[in-house]
Structure 1
């Protein structure tokens, strides 16, 4: 690809076959338009509603549910099938609604293209639609106009272009048509190139179009956005894995039980129905819906903390983030140039320590504000910073301009690197000059020091240069201010100046970010700064925030170009600051981190951040300063543009995942209890302890309420003291598997005990061992199944209390700290009671009325899982 910045104007005109004076002919422009196509972005294929629906249902767990529903309908259990399909539909609808606003990035990029451009064609100046620009067109630029395509500048007059959205540069860039370089140069340093969709803020220029549409630098971003595949989150991966395990387990159990019953001599159709019951028991039908509901509730909670979630799974992914890649400008910093240091009256000090009543300080501040074309609200960021600094120290620009009226000026230009204004002072005139120290110091003959003007000495100059070096070492932008007094007339002069002082400014870090970075360290989260700004500036900010310590932890875009992806994977482990990088570099960095097994969050606000925002596991865009392109490519938008909100969102994400795990482990232990009861009952040759509709009811209603309440458990105050969890870590890690199995079996055995005790009581047998299974009446079986049904429900409801903490007692966590869970248990028990005492439900669920004595027995044994878990927790705490 052509490096247009390295070529001379003559080479450009020859290669593009154009004429600087007359431009292209209309016929040639038309031919090139057919060849290159219109100067606009290609539209990506929009996701149809059917494709979105397919993405929602295309998971193992959903397919298992669909098969279970079809089988249920086939064997006549229409109610079961309808309930399952309702769950599937609700899950799909919630997912589609939450994600329907996604993928707007390319549309927003298209909107950024300029509607009109001023060109030379047929030897005349014409205004045309920017879509009709072609390579070789000669474009005229003036202040306030967006650049309509990538241009090689051939003429510039004090041209400044604001490129922060593309390069991350925090101040407008001086452009110079005469600049050239034959080595590789980052976008932000290409002084003779103007990039599409950047804004001309000052001066004027002329350029030749080198690239249009998708071939421009901004077009490459559009290509990257359109070409990236959507990845599934760790939670989605885990649910898919769990779905496979449950699916295989359900099929195996069904096959085993079918053959067990067959060899026991049972009716084949009966065994098929029992096998379906077991399949229903093996799959927690409400799990997918509960996970979606808990994520949706987490979204609402996070919106109150200034984080808007565009994609539901991003909430959970935040909880496993191990690296936050942050853009510097506007994210870690205030995106506002600020004066921090001054050198005045021979002293190098903080701005806040000087006082305007001091004559030397007053003259410096007055000069900063008078030799200035900005206002508080508009103008060059550097000049605005000077006005703010004066305001903070009690000076008012409007009053100063009224007192010292401007009568002449020499505007800034890139050759002189200075600006001079002349002002009336009662009977005489004085001038103020500000600009680069290397331009002003050689023209200086005096210095204002110790309350008087005195000849400048070699020692004075040495001190001034030392102060300038200190500012540069701190990555400050340095401006010198000088004046000339007692002018006889209004003629501006930039010779025999009186040196007033130096001003050092920087885009400072946000005050709260340092604490957030420290909190990230405690939580085992690495913070990496990725910026288009200069290496020294980036390192200075990184040091102040505690992100990096020295230059060895930094890398430039040029260095990135010289290493392979494999080498980058190694180096990215130590690098904390990436400076002067392009959009492609950002994507490479994110990919390298992900290849190392890390979960990456990328924050940013500019167009240049959009591809990496989309590439990251969690893309976080700024809501206030962020471009629509960045927002469209992100998963989460911060409404307060505060880095600290990201840390808060990570904390929330961790708590949400922890609560989702509690809900899933609760559901699985409950389902295992159902499997245990059915499997062992059938294996022993007993009648089925539970019917299919009873199992489905427990799964969808009784289990669901506590699971949702567990998903809303209060936040763990110690969650950010833990390291990020391994994204490959199973739900069953850290003993959770054994805990689930043991509690599930315990619930199953209690349910079986209630069933066999019901059979003993209602058949009149002397003991549970004396029950005659060959001679059980329908009435006795229904009573026994009712007791098993109530026990299963009640024990699962009480078991939900155990899931709040694996270590703390329910009294330590507090019985009333999660009122929703307490309410879910009470409502669950009341629902079960209504099934027992409302006659309408008796035939639907196959249950009979049980007496108070039975209730006392059933509630008593249902509390056994809580009692055993409390004893186990007590022993763990002692050990």
Structure 2
């Protein structure tokens, strides 16, 4: 295909046949070979992403933070005061930390980019004369594709056929009012105003259409705008903002402590200024949490990756934090709480009730009356209801295999197609005998769908209608009974409603079926092309009900139980009948028999204050229009709840955007819903929401464990300097600045990173949701880091220092400030801190659960980190070059025995403390 140089307006004006010739296509679309060649020629149908900042700027940013600037200056001063090795070491710390931060951010970005690739948009195209579903990125100019309400439009295209199509073009024009689109060309006012053209990036909000792609990818109007205006905006989540504040606070505290010790060293110990500065620098380095932010970023990114393996695709890292705070889930029923495998098991007619055998979307059953197979020829009314069910239908079933057919459309319509197959009808032959001439699409206001067909043997046209019972009964004045139509009576309506309520009480869903002969009477137009909702959907003949079952998902019971234990309320919001909704809710344990059921009509009349009061209790919302979800979400948020809301349709978008966590269905959800959501379920399963909430809580808990671990080493790093200061220099520094850096950026890092991979702690879903006002660094962490882990490590490391000196004559001789004994003492102090950190890494794995219960060796990353730090401290002790640089020396075998014994009592004592806490919680 040669690329057309005609403008969109020129292509829109061409006669249809000439238009097809220009694009070298026809009404049957392209074949696969032609489409592949065009895809190679024009490229994928995507908007190329540009970055708002260069990778170089992203790299440099990691070396200009408050902490980084502090270390640059400190290293420079150390060099000028004659301590070249220390200055180089400090700068090396900065380089390592900056590079590590950049690598972590890059890894996190790659993780989120890979997730975006897992969220494809699909398009239904005509290829080789057959409708098939393809990834929208494979759409090419000349492709014939279909549009339905809720679809994001994937290309600039010309409409060939349309039924009540309305498109939201606000993404291009800023005008929020949907515009009508028709096949006939008509130029409106302004740009993007051709009535027979739809544009990429816009959304179909009503109706259906068939269109031919003219431009794709960056050649679309949306793509051309993107090349001029595209930029990537990074938002800072509350968690990231808190971590930034935490880093600044700790850095400022470290600087203040350093200044105090600097002044004290000069005036109290009478150190020279240069030596006092190095001393103060050691205190600053001891308190700065190197590696905190990059590790948090990696933890969030890996949390997102783990969620994706549990069928929950989180679009932004910041959403992970919010998941852990969720207090209310406003959930759809069909497909989320249930299997979305609608199967018609009853057909109710005024004169008979039929049963339908067979499960799922496979043709392996039959229609029966009193357990005997039924032939449609012997049951005219049954034949009518089956025919309407099959023809008043926009869904297709593609049998990929015998158990998992592909549904292109809705599960409810798929169930009706299967009903026709089970009755012995050939769908293709049926469609040829009753060709469709017009459609009045389903919408959430009417809750019904109408199609108009021509009948065989020139018998005229017929109107088929299916939808919600209350709406269809309201416009029916005839009843089909024993194959003949007669006026419907009040007694008939009572009988029909009683049957419907009986099914609903069993958790079944029914759909009403009706028809009308197109005989030009009672307000019908002369031509079927002039049919509208107003002049067509009236004076119907009611036929009967198709009754469907959509069983709960097997895993839903455990998921609901987890929510109850976690103090997370579930509010069912469904379009089904009150009886059906209550039946399912009670069956799966969401609500009790005393639950209040509020219908959409009642909700429309309720004031905001009454709604806010209602959602505080046990409540179900039934027969609710999707747009009413917005009010339900807002009411819960007004009550202080953190709300997760599910949705799949166009009208769900406001509720998804308003919710703290909007959750779209990945299988049945429209493109609009997916775009509005924060999270997408690839299996449309409520249990995946609960798994994501559990993962969100786990990520936050692991961040606190990491924070506890890195902060607890600050105390044993600082205590030696305190001893030196308060002894006025009589106790030489038990730990040098280089050794402090060894702990912070050498031995500590890998075990700390291992903590972020810790699995969910048992009982994490038995706790109430975290309050939004809760802080990452809370009193419990401060107490354990500084008052428990830190003080114990300080005591043991100080004992190790004095133990070496004791073996060499102290207290009978003064503590050595230089020489081999001093080097041995500082080495043992450093090693003791490292082995205390081994115990801390094990203890930090759980908050109250015994580490032996989760498996002492279950986290391989922790033990890899522990092995690394033991090897590193050994290298520092025995490699000559490192000995001189870090002021270390080799130690005796008895010293190693002592070091390996240190973690054992520390772990056992902490296990005893956790046991006491568990006992107090159990009271």
- Per the TM superposition, whether the score is higher than 0.5 is yes
Counterparts of 2:413 and 2:192 in 1: how far apart (Å)? 29
Gaps of 5+ in 1: 1-42, 120-129, 155-165, 167-194, 205-213, 484-491
- Given that residues 438 and 453 in structure 2 are in contact (C-alpha distance below 8 angstroms), is that contact kept between their aligned partners in structure 1? yes
Counterparts of 1:260 and 1:827 in 2: how far apart (Å)? 37
- Given that residues 340 and 411 in structure 2 are in contact (C-alpha distance below 8 angstroms), is that contact kept between their aligned partners in structure 1? no
- Please list, as runs of the form range in 1=range in 2, the aligned pairs for 1:410-489 lying within 5 A after superposition: 435=465, 438=473, 442-444=477-479, 446-447=481-482, 463-464=495-496, 466-467=498-499, 476-480=510-514
Residue in structure 2 matched with residue 75 of structure 1 by the alignment: 78
**Aligned with 2:482: secondary structure?**
strand
**Aligned with 2:545: secondary structure?**
strand
- Compared with structure 1, are the counterparts of its residues 288 and 782 closer, same or farther at alpha carbon in structure 2 (3 Å cutoff)? same
- Given that residues 390 and 396 in structure 1 are in contact (C-alpha distance below 8 angstroms), is that contact kept between their aligned partners in structure 2? no
- Compared with structure 1, are the counterparts of its residues 272 and 839 closer, same or farther at alpha carbon in structure 2 (3 Å cutoff)? same
Residue in structure 1 matched with residue 814 of structure 2 by the alignment: 772
**Aligned with 2:735: secondary structure?**
coil
Match of 1:849 among 887, 890, 896: 890
Matched, 1:651 2:661: no
- Given that residues 235 and 317 in structure 1 are in contact (C-alpha distance below 8 angstroms), is that contact kept between their aligned partners in structure 2? no
- Given that residues 712 and 785 in structure 2 are in contact (C-alpha distance below 8 angstroms), is that contact kept between their aligned partners in structure 1? yes
- Given that residues 801 and 810 in structure 1 are in contact (C-alpha distance below 8 angstroms), is that contact kept between their aligned partners in structure 2? yes
- Please list, as runs of the form range in 1=range in 2, the aligned pairs for 1:738-777 lying within 5 A after superposition: 738-741=783-786, 742-762=788-808, 764-765=809-810, 767=811, 770-773=812-815, 776-777=817-818
Does 1 or 2 have the higher relative contact order (CA < 8 Å, sep 6+)? 1
**Aligned with 1:197: secondary structure?**
strand
Matched, 1:840 2:881: yes
Residue in structure 2 matched with residue 49 of structure 1 by the alignment: 53
Matched, 1:275 2:275: no
Match of 2:748 among 686, 694, 703: 703
Shift of 1:445: 7.2
- Please list, as runs of the form range in 1=range in 2, the aligned pairs for 1:346-357 lying within 5 A after superposition: 346=351, 355=368, 357=372
- Given that residues 366 and 400 in structure 1 are in contact (C-alpha distance below 8 angstroms), is that contact kept between their aligned partners in structure 2? no
* RMSD of aligned alpha carbons: 5.7
Structure 1, 410-419 or 824-833: larger mean CA deviation: 410-419
- Given that residues 843 and 910 in structure 2 are in contact (C-alpha distance below 8 angstroms), is that contact kept between their aligned partners in structure 1? yes
**Aligned with 1:311: secondary structure?**
coil
Count matched residues.
743
For residues 494-544 of structure 1, the C-alpha deviation after alignment (integer angstroms, 9 at most, x for no partner) is 9x999864335699876755653443233222334567x689699669847
Residue in structure 2 matched with residue 207 of structure 1 by the alignment: none
Structure 1, 510-519 or 45-54: larger mean CA deviation: 45-54
Shift of 1:633: 5.0
Residue in structure 2 matched with residue 395 of structure 1 by the alignment: 424
**Aligned with 1:728: secondary structure?**
coil
Shift of 1:196: 6.2
For residues 87-144 of structure 1, the C-alpha deviation after alignment (integer angstroms, 9 at most, x for no partner) is 2343245335645878999x9999658544799xxxxxxxxxx98999999966269x
- Given that residues 514 and 540 in structure 2 are in contact (C-alpha distance below 8 angstroms), is that contact kept between their aligned partners in structure 1? no
- Given that residues 690 and 785 in structure 1 are in contact (C-alpha distance below 8 angstroms), is that contact kept between their aligned partners in structure 2? yes
- Given that residues 316 and 653 in structure 1 are in contact (C-alpha distance below 8 angstroms), is that contact kept between their aligned partners in structure 2? yes
Structure 1, 664-673 or 45-54: larger mean CA deviation: 45-54
Shift of 1:440: 9.3
Match of 1:718 among 759, 763, 766: 763
Match of 1:729 among 771, 774, 790: 774
**Aligned with 1:198: secondary structure?**
strand
**Aligned with 2:275: secondary structure?**
helix
Residue in structure 2 matched with residue 790 of structure 1 by the alignment: 831
- Compared with structure 1, are the counterparts of its residues 458 and 856 closer, same or farther at alpha carbon in structure 2 (3 Å cutoff)? closer
- Given that residues 582 and 597 in structure 2 are in contact (C-alpha distance below 8 angstroms), is that contact kept between their aligned partners in structure 1? no
Matched, 1:523 2:566: yes
- Given that residues 751 and 788 in structure 1 are in contact (C-alpha distance below 8 angstroms), is that contact kept between their aligned partners in structure 2? yes
- Please list, as runs of the form range in 1=range in 2, the aligned pairs for 1:150-549 lying within 5 A after superposition: 197-201=204-208, 232-262=236-266, 263-326=268-331, 339=344, 341-344=346-349, 346=351, 355=368, 357-359=372-374, 363-371=380-388, 372-373=390-391, 374=393, 377=396, 384-385=413-414, 387-391=416-420, 393=422, 395-398=424-427, 401=430, 406=433, 435=465, 438=473, 442-444=477-479, 446-447=481-482, 463-464=495-496, 466-467=498-499, 476-480=510-514, 501-504=544-547, 513=556, 516-528=559-571, 543=585, 549=595
Shift of 1:850: 1.5
- Compared with structure 1, are the counterparts of its residues 197 and 476 closer, same or farther at alpha carbon in structure 2 (3 Å cutoff)? same
Counterparts of 2:914 and 2:281 in 1: how far apart (Å)? 37
Counterparts of 2:57 and 2:772 in 1: how far apart (Å)? 27
- Compared with structure 1, are the counterparts of its residues 52 and 114 closer, same or farther at alpha carbon in structure 2 (3 Å cutoff)? farther
Counterparts of 2:858 and 2:411 in 1: how far apart (Å)? 53
Residue in structure 1 matched with residue 725 of structure 2 by the alignment: 682
- Compared with structure 1, are the counterparts of its residues 49 and 136 closer, same or farther at alpha carbon in structure 2 (3 Å cutoff)? closer
Structure 1, 804-813 or 371-380: larger mean CA deviation: 371-380
- Given that residues 477 and 540 in structure 2 are in contact (C-alpha distance below 8 angstroms), is that contact kept between their aligned partners in structure 1? no
For residues 48-76 of structure 1, the C-alpha deviation after alignment (integer angstroms, 9 at most, x for no partner) is 1269977996999x533442344234323
- Given that residues 330 and 643 in structure 2 are in contact (C-alpha distance below 8 angstroms), is that contact kept between their aligned partners in structure 1? yes
Shift of 1:796: 0.9
Gaps of 5+ in 2: 1-46, 80-86, 122-135, 137-150, 162-170, 196-200, 212-220, 359-366, 398-407, 442-447, 467-471, 518-527, 529-536
- Given that residues 802 and 810 in structure 1 are in contact (C-alpha distance below 8 angstroms), is that contact kept between their aligned partners in structure 2? yes
- Given that residues 365 and 390 in structure 1 are in contact (C-alpha distance below 8 angstroms), is that contact kept between their aligned partners in structure 2? no
Structure 1, 801-810 or 830-839: larger mean CA deviation: 801-810
- Given that residues 477 and 506 in structure 1 are in contact (C-alpha distance below 8 angstroms), is that contact kept between their aligned partners in structure 2? no
Counterparts of 1:582 and 1:59 in 2: how far apart (Å)? 48
**Aligned with 1:551: secondary structure?**
strand
Structure 1, 737-746 or 460-469: larger mean CA deviation: 460-469
Residue in structure 1 matched with residue 139 of structure 2 by the alignment: none
For residues 1-28 of structure 1, the C-alpha deviation after alignment (integer angstroms, 9 at most, x for no partner) is xxxxxxxxxxxxxxxxxxxxxxxxxxxx
- Compared with structure 1, are the counterparts of its residues 663 and 552 closer, same or farther at alpha carbon in structure 2 (3 Å cutoff)? same
**Aligned with 1:479: secondary structure?**
strand
For residues 456-476 of structure 1, the C-alpha deviation after alignment (integer angstroms, 9 at most, x for no partner) is 998667534543576799874
- Given that residues 434 and 453 in structure 2 are in contact (C-alpha distance below 8 angstroms), is that contact kept between their aligned partners in structure 1? no
